Amino acid sequence: MHRSCRWLLFLAAATRLWAQAPAPVDLIWSARYVVTMDAQRRVIENGAVAVSGDHIVDVGTRADIDRRYRAAQRLDRPDAILTPGLINTHTHAAMSLFRGIADDMNLQDWLQKFIFPAEAKNVDREFVRWGTRLAALEMALSGTTTYTDMYYFEDTVAEVTKQAGLRGMLGQSVIGFPAPDFKTPQASLAATEKFFQAFAHDPLVIPAIAPHAIYTVPDDVLKQTRALANRYQKPLVIHLSETKAENDEALAKRKKTPTAALEALGVLTGWTVAAHGVWLTDDDMAILKRRDTGLAHNPSSNMKLASGVAPVVKILGAGIAMGLGTDGVAGSNNDHNMMEEMDLAAKLQKVTTGNPRALPAQQAFEMATITGARALHMEKLIGSLEKDKRADMITVSLTAANAVPLYNVYSQLVYALKGADVRDVMVNGRPIVRDRKMLTLDVPIIMMKAAEYQERVKKSLGMK
């Protein structure tokens, strides 16, 4: 054989060997079941996910993934379910320092008599920093990887979110009265513009503007919030049709539902996430569908404040993306536990429609993952375990008494497993919880600060 021919054969053989050699990746996580939430809704028994940098490289059986990739680090959980990270589409994280401050009253009394005065007396930048740290800890430990926030000092919320390693769509509040951070809507708008610029290309934070609601923000300011959001192509987050009182007031004052009024003002002409939608009419749903507005359903909050039951089956049936949220924990929940929201969302639809088939477990789990991602307009990045998406995922342990036996993974996730069963959490390719230990935050200091604030808040309100 000619020498160059032999050389070519050698090269071909070497290439074949090289092609079969496992490719290096940063991490492999494997589990008994991998629930992908991809378009086919594949559930892979003895599955694994390969991750490099911030993204998913491959998803498959553990045998296939181990043949194709060699990981610098690996985590094998043969007794757990691996799922996409949970997406909380509506909350007010820093309010966790007001947890349970005023329970068992209606929204208007709760807001006007307790929350607004308590905020006026206590909320400053440090309060927001520690409240958000407490919420981030609680959210991460119960499997939330992305959350949507509406509050004050949102640049500090963004700092804490990055420090915790969570992903956030974080809305700087704009409201029609002096707020804890800014005394006028104009000052809030100016600060929001700076916030948009500071976090324009952040890998974890999407800055947003958060006009509180149609009944707390003047019309001209609402228009300005939309214009600013659109100028920077950032989201606008808002409360919408939460209570019957809100709808009745809009109908009396404007002869329009809150949704129709926002539409008439042009507020829905862009990237929007609206929380609640309890009192939406068919016409409202048609508007939201046309505008591709995402919605956040908050079953705990709606039940606790007796706001009503959002027509979730109808909303999803109309093709509107509706995710799940915890809302704030000051009196409208009182925790940040998405496992609970899935369970309640499913059961609440069954009770109100009289149909046990309404909102089955898989659909409830979709709301907490891929449909929630669609509601945030982030479905290209998160919400499912697929190649090239961001590596946001959790393992949920199957070792507790409430976790066995297992016949259907969705049923287990929605109706049996709890937030405390979450064992590991990764966001953007970075493990932030390992074996139920928070890796990114100093837990004892957060707990100490929570106790300190409890005393300070009680004193400020003259509570014993």
Residues that bind Zn ion (CB under 5 A): 327
Q: Which two tokens stand for residue 169?
A: 């769509």
Cα separation of the two ends of the chain: 96
Q: Residues with Cβ < 8 Å from 202, sequence gap 6 or more?
A: 158, 162
At residue 463, what are phi and psi to the nearest 5 degrees?
Answer: -85, 150
Please state the closest distance from residue 327 (CB atom) to Zn ion, in A.
Answer: 5
Taking the C-alpha atoms of residue 88 and residue 297, their distance in angstroms, rounded to an integer, is: 10
Give the number of other CB atoms < 10 A from CB of residue 300. Answer: 23
Contact 446, 133 (CB under 8 A): yes
Q: Which two tokens stand for residue 64?
A: 């296939």
Instruction: Kindly give the residue spans of alpha helices, DSSP state H, lying in 318-418.
Output: 338-353, 361-368, 370-375, 409-411
Contact 180, 124 (CB under 8 A): yes
Q: Which residue lies nearer to Zn ion by CB, 77 or 92?
A: 92
Q: Which residue lies nearer to Zn ion by CB, 327 or 366?
A: 327
Q: Which two tokens stand for residue 244?
A: 């019957």
Q: Which residue lies nearer to Zn ion by CB, 333 or 428?
A: 333
Please state the closest distance from residue 238 (CB atom) to Zn ion, in A.
Answer: 10
Please state the closest distance from residue 94 (CB atom) to Zn ion, in A.
Answer: 12
Please state the closest distance from residue 299 (CB atom) to Zn ion, in A.
Answer: 13
Name 24's bridge partners.
Answer: 70
Contact 29, 74 (CB under 8 A): yes
Per the document, the length of the chain is 464
Residue number of the CB atom closest to Zn ion: 327
Please state the closest distance from residue 90 (CB atom) to Zn ion, in A.
Answer: 6
Give the number of other CB atoms < 10 A from CB of residue 11. Answer: 10
Please state the closest distance from residue 224 (CB atom) to Zn ion, in A.
Answer: 21
At residue 29, what are phi and psi to the nearest 5 degrees?
Answer: -115, 130
Taking the C-alpha atoms of residue 327 and residue 302, their distance in angstroms, rounded to an integer, is: 9
Q: Which two tokens stand for residue 27?
A: 């991490």
Q: Which two tokens stand for residue 170?
A: 């974080």
Please state the closest distance from residue 243 (CB atom) to Zn ion, in A.
Answer: 12
Contact 294, 90 (CB under 8 A): no
Q: Which residue lies nearer to Zn ion by CB, 66 or 249?
A: 249
Please state the closest distance from residue 429 (CB atom) to Zn ion, in A.
Answer: 30
At residue 271, what are phi and psi to the nearest 5 degrees?
Answer: -65, 110
Please state the closest distance from residue 173 (CB atom) to Zn ion, in A.
Answer: 11
Q: Which residue lies nearer to Zn ion by CB, 302 or 371?
A: 302
Please state the closest distance from residue 91 (CB atom) to Zn ion, in A.
Answer: 7
DSSP-assigned states of every residue in 60-100: EEHHHHHHHEEEEEEEEEEEEEEEEPEEEEEE-GGGGGGTT
Q: Which residue lies nearer to Zn ion by CB, 278 or 373?
A: 278
Q: Which residue lies nearer to Zn ion by CB, 296 or 398?
A: 296
Q: Which residue lies nearer to Zn ion by CB, 327 or 340?
A: 327
Specify the pairing of strand 422-427 against strand 430-434.
antiparallel
Q: Which residue lies nearer to Zn ion by CB, 92 or 423?
A: 92
Q: Which residue lies nearer to Zn ion by CB, 297 or 377?
A: 297
Please state the closest distance from residue 275 (CB atom) to Zn ion, in A.
Answer: 5
Q: Which residue lies nearer to Zn ion by CB, 149 or 366?
A: 149
